[in-house]
Structure 1
Amino acid sequence: MEFTGGSLSADHLCVVVHGLWGNPNHMRSVAKALRAAHSEDELYLLVAKRNSGSFTYDGIERGGERVCLEIEEELEKIKSKGGKIKKLSMVGYSLGGLVARYAVGLLSANGVLDQVEPVNFTTFASPHLGVRVPSRGWHNTVWNGLGARTLSMSGRQLFITDNFRDTGRPLLAILADPDSIFITGLKKFKRKILYANVVNDRSVAYYTAAIVKTDPYTDTSRVKPNYVPGYEDVILDPKNPVSPLNPKSEPVTLGSVTSEGLFYAKQAPLAVALAVFIPIGIAAFLLNSVVQNLRSSRRIRLHETGLAGIEIEKYRMPIWIKDIRGKVEDVYENLNASQGQSYLVDGASDDEEGDDADETEILALERRQSHAQSPTLALAPCQFAMINALDEVGWRKFPVWIKKVRHTHAAIVVRMEKKSHDEGLVVLEHWLKEEFLM
């Protein structure tokens, strides 16, 4: 990528990490915006590439190890040429935000963050709490189980069904544990920033990108947006993002009924096409999942035996401080987005009970604190614990309301340079002008 690199006089290294199924080109607009804002003499750019494409199936920790090695190699290369990096910033998009958080833990544990000043840590539409659909119904439970099996190790980790290093806990819970190297490393950054799509993100729902228990954007007809001055129509005011709005009901007329009928008549060909092609797409998605799971398992074995070019023993330090692509992607996102979110309600039900007394107590407490106007989502007990721990880190959270596209996940970082993604340029402008520290 043409924006990677910088001058040896630059003392600030910014590392950019793409998401699931991604590659460095997905982050071209982010790198381009960084370079437009800061010259090669000020900022050195590294767009990570070791964890591209199907390699993202192999698990967050392996991605983190690959990115950590890439950062260490880049720092050594700059040093060998006479440069000196004094500051470090990390940027992660989607799954890349979790990979970056894992890499930060490794960098902290091996002393790199003691040699440079950690400045900015930024995520765009990253699933900090995983992608498990807040669930109380059987259909959500089925999808949570199926989705975890379609993306190899990364899928199990994103749907929080894995057992990380025989701890009896999922990786994302360890990643957010206050006593882990990961939270300790994250706290070292001067500024922690996140941007979360409030609507139409079919890959990463608002609650997990924003690290929250509620979702005030499930019915946008009932709220009035309040924007950050100068970034109207895209960046919501983090302190007061929306105000309640009670829309007036309009009487049903013959004209409205006729218009509605014409609308559905026009949609009939689309419905027929979907009925034919969706089963084909799902079949292709599941077949590809089987192939990618097998390939990922093979890569994981090579990685774990040290035959993939990484000395893994260097990165398998204690994690406790106190112990010190294409159509397939479209099908997955459509299936994920079709699941409705559930909420905690008064009175416990069988599927709300935790696996032990502590989990049941957590759910009972969250249920009591849930408000009718903004009900608490039916998250897993470990997700509530993640929220509490991650909030202690001190995030600057910005809700993003993109309207020009029906799928906002790619638009938030302008993954493709086209007019319908222009609202993402407003997000990047806000980040670089208002939040990014040099």
Structure 2
Amino acid sequence: MTEYTGGALEADHLCVLVHGLWGNPNHMASVAKTVRAQFPPEKVYLLVAKRNSGSFTYDGIECGGERVCLEIEEELESIKRRGGNIKKISIVGYSLGGLVARYAIGLLHARGVLDNLECMNFTAFASPFVGVRSPLRGWWSVLFNSLGARTLATSGRQLFGVDKFRDTGKPLLAVLADPNSIFISGLARFKRRTLYANITNDRTAVYYTTGLDKTDPYTDLSKVKVHYVKGYEDVILDPINPVSPLPASHHDQPKPPLRATATKWFRRIPLILALTVFIPIGVVAYLVNSAIQTIRSINRVKQHESGLAGIDIKSYRVPLWINEIREAVEDAYEEINSSQNQEYLRLSDSEGEGSDSGEEILALERKQSQPWRPTLALAPYQFAAKEALDKVGFRKFGVWIHQATHSHAAIVVRTERENFSEGQVVLNHWVREEFLP
């Protein structure tokens, strides 16, 4: 990693890389290597954030963002002290790192750090911009949303949108996307904002949240024709026309005979028996570890809040809104409610006729839902966040990783593996076609 990071004092462009949940700087090694292969040390100075490594990512987006902000300020000061002169800045976030980076950008903007820099690129790889709350129906959705929010400490509550950030009464994800916030104003300063989203096999952050889309046209890829960016076929989708529906005759397949189906399930019996033994053990171990990590995270956050973690947080607790005196506006966001458990919004749903702004958002989204691309049953704050981020403007690229079943790790080549090679195509596209030097 050290051979790719850092840079020469002649470099005028600082590029910051921020890893994701449970991550560490090594997860960004391939990203750093790709940047360095395209831009020499005399051109781009690379900083891989390290203060949020490992279990420190449990501590929440706010805490992580303050740490990254401090790292950036320290690096800029260090370069200046040694005779360098950084004039440009780019920030790259992977997974949860995209949200942490957005929080840090808001702080850098509010503290005046960006006033002396040309903001070039903000890039996100598989970042859950509107959280990870599952819009699926049934008991699995309830279990996933309830368990997930309570097993990842502060970060879990924020990712599932069940927190109330400071005195706002809103989830942090809603505050991050508030049009009047320092976070949106800071993000808007960047000349180019790009995101890459896996369209399938991302078990950590699914397409609708990473691609800022209220629909998911990739639920059944046998029913659509995929269009690719020229030169990056089979991996990078055309952002203007990513897919088109196929005629029904192209994807209507005869049902397999009963004997073939029975044989298929018979072959799965050993796997099913193994899972009935190992899943309960794994769940217990996961819950025990989650409890331990939550306690540790609480203690770390207390140290952070008291200033004992090496950060003077008072200087980072800046006003979140552009106006010093916040106007009283109707809250357009609401917490997750148990009644919203359908997979798609339907015009026949009875709710949405009231005066509550959240219900008005849902009613509008139902009317706009299209038959072949129905609108997912997201929460009102998620719809509002998507709209606000779309207004800022993102260049969106869908990514189809074929060779790996864990596309979340493959999209940034988190480890050097042969079946992650398509992720290198993504990174090459980014540095060659999207990155503004």
TM-score (normalizing by structure 1): 0.93
Cα deviation, residue 194, structure 1: 0.1
Corresponding pairs, count: 419
Cα deviation, residue 262, structure 1: 3.7
The letter of the residue matching 2:149 is A
> For residues 376-432 of structure 1, what are the alpha-carbon distances to aligned partners after superposition, in whole Å with 9 as ceiling and x for unaligned?
000000111101100011100000011111121000000011100000000001101
Cα deviation, residue 141, structure 1: 2.8
What is the match of residue 408 of structure 1? 407
Structure 1: distance between partners of 2:36 and 2:282: 39
What is the match of residue 89 of structure 1? 90
Cα deviation, residue 322, structure 1: 1.3
Structure 2: distance between partners of 1:77 and 1:38: 21
Structure 2: distance between partners of 1:134 and 1:353: 17
Give the gaps of 5 or more residues in structure 1.
Answer: 325-339
What is the match of residue 232 of structure 2? 231
What is the match of residue 249 of structure 1? 252
Do the aligned residues in 1 keep the contact of 2:223 with 2:251 (CA within 8 Å)?
no
> For residues 358-393 of structure 1, what are the alpha-carbon distances to aligned partners after superposition, in whole Å with 9 as ceiling and x for unaligned?
111111111111122111000000111101100011
The letter of the residue matching 2:146 is G
Structure 2: distance between partners of 1:272 and 1:74: 53
Structure 2: distance between partners of 1:341 and 1:280: 31
Structure 1: distance between partners of 2:285 and 2:27: 24
Give the gaps of 5 or more residues in structure 2.
Answer: 326-340
1:50 partnered with 2:51: yes
Do the aligned residues in 1 keep the contact of 2:354 with 2:360 (CA within 8 Å)?
no
1:215 partnered with 2:222: no
> For residues 180-234 of structure 1, what are the alpha-carbon distances to aligned partners after superposition, in whole Å with 9 as ceiling and x for unaligned?
0000000000000000000010000100001111000011110111010100000
**Mapping of residues 184-195 of structure 1, within 5 Å:** 184-195=185-196
The letter of the residue matching 1:384 is F
> For residues 309-340 of structure 1, what are the alpha-carbon distances to aligned partners after superposition, in whole Å with 9 as ceiling and x for unaligned?
0000010010100127xxxxxxxxxxxxxxx9
Cα deviation, residue 264, structure 1: 2.9
What is the match of residue 335 of structure 2? none
Distance 1:317 1:252, change over 3 A: closer
What is the match of residue 301 of structure 1? 302
Distance 1:341 1:223, change over 3 A: farther
Cα deviation, residue 137, structure 1: 3.8
> For residues 81-120 of structure 1, what are the alpha-carbon distances to aligned partners after superposition, in whole Å with 9 as ceiling and x for unaligned?
0000000000000000000000000000111111110000
What is the match of residue 166 of structure 2? 165
What is the match of residue 327 of structure 1? none
Do the aligned residues in 2 keep the contact of 1:133 with 1:341 (CA within 8 Å)?
no
Structure 1: distance between partners of 2:160 and 2:145: 6
The letter of the residue matching 1:422 is S
**Mapping of residues 327-342 of structure 1, within 5 Å:** 342=343
The letter of the residue matching 1:141 is V
**Mapping of residues 61-80 of structure 1, within 5 Å:** 61-80=62-81
Do the aligned residues in 2 keep the contact of 1:354 with 1:363 (CA within 8 Å)?
no
What is the match of residue 204 of structure 2? 203
Q: Secondary structure at the match of 1:322?
A: coil
The letter of the residue matching 1:295 is R
> For residues 226-256 of structure 1, what are the alpha-carbon distances to aligned partners after superposition, in whole Å with 9 as ceiling and x for unaligned?
0101000000001111111232534457xx5
Distance 1:168 1:226, change over 3 A: same
What is the match of residue 31 of structure 1? 32
Cα deviation, residue 265, structure 1: 2.9
